[in-house]
Amino acid sequence: MVWIVLFVVLALAALVLYLVAPARGRRDLRRPFSGRNYAHRGLFGRDQRPPENSLPAFSAAAQAGYGMELDVQFTKDRQLVVFHDDSLDRMTGTHGWVRDFDCEAVRAMPLAGSGERAPLFRELLETVGGRTPLIVEIKSRSEYSGAYLDELCRATLDALRDYPGPYCIESFDPRVVHRIRKMAPGVLRGQLVDSCRSYRREGANFVYAYAVSHCLCNFWGRPDFIAWCPDRENWAVRLCRRLGAMMVMWTALPEHDTAALEQRYDAVIFQWYRPGTRY
């Protein structure tokens, strides 16, 4: 009986390691991104002046020497725009999903009542011009089909092919991380992870919320880095750290102990304060 119990325990431990383990090694790929602070959606203010994910916000971040994090998604006519929310409501006042509007319509909508518009991804890349590393988040939703995600990932990689600076790709969706692993194995990839409580608050069932918050889909994408939220790290995220994953923190705010975050994480995505560019 003891041997049976021991076998079961060891088998379960091996299964957990298989599911959760990040990519190993690849230190040369990590090096350009480590020890840096990244402006979340560019350098923008609480008053959205300049607006988040706008060309002036990205230009300001690049001029200050910060890396930057940004979000890309498709419009209805399969154009890549830099826009965070799935819906247009918060940033434009128009009700509806970004994916349901043509690019021309999305770009006609002022961002947060300003004179700025959502930039095309290629415009952002031209504005930054390789001056600083980019963390590119590919936005996804559970209802997106495999074919849609294939096209979205390929379009993002194609746009980045001629970018002269370092870039990496991350997503909350393990299916996206898996596709980047297959399509571009030489690109640093990351799994964005939120707390189980947050996923549940957004309406996810417990099984899904637990699985994604505890990195149980890492076997699919074998991410190089884990981008974790401000909540206390769960056991799986701590295990990823011990197994050698690069650790990224999102999103550091002025009220956090930002010095402690820089000591604990390999990279920090920040918002609404001005840290040093490197640490």
Report, as residue numbers or ranges, the catalytic residues.
Answer: 40, 84
Is residue 127 within 8 A of residue 163, CB to CB? The reply is: no
